[in-house]
């Protein structure tokens, strides 16, 4: 069993889990925050967007979870933003 960290500056780890298919990472399956996992039940809407000034691409997902809806933006470099919606 891992020791409990009592550091007030300790930040939990964040990550994404994907359903993977023949095209590699196809769609998000869950958001991982520390030791908790928020499963994505349904993708309501998705869109691939290109920033014409920088040429970078990102994918935007509107998702339904057991805790409500969220907007997930995934950038080409692997970084992501999660916005919990009301």
Please determine, for residue 86, whether its predicted confidence score (pLDDT) is greater than 90: no
pTM of the model: 0.76
pLDDT exceeds 70 at position 23: no
pLDDT at residue number 27: 86
45-78 pLDDT per residue, tens: 999 999 899 889 999 999 999 889 999 999 988 8
What are the phi and psi torsion angles at 34 (to 5°)?
Answer: 65, -125
C-alpha pair distances (Å), 67 with each of 37, 55, 84: 11, 34, 9
Domain assignments of the chain as residue spans, ordered by start: 14-84
């Amino acid at each position: 069993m891992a020791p409990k960290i009592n550091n007030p500056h300790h930040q939990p780890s964040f990550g994404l889990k994907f359903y993977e298919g023949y095209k590699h990472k196809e769609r998000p399956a869950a958001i991982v925050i520390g030791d908790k996992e928020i499963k994505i039940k349904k993708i309501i809407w998705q869109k691939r967007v290109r920033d014409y000034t920088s040429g970078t691409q990102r994918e935007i997902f509107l998702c339904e979870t057991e805790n409500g809806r969220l907007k997930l933006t995934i950038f080409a470099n692997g970084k992501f933003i999660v916005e919990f919606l009301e």
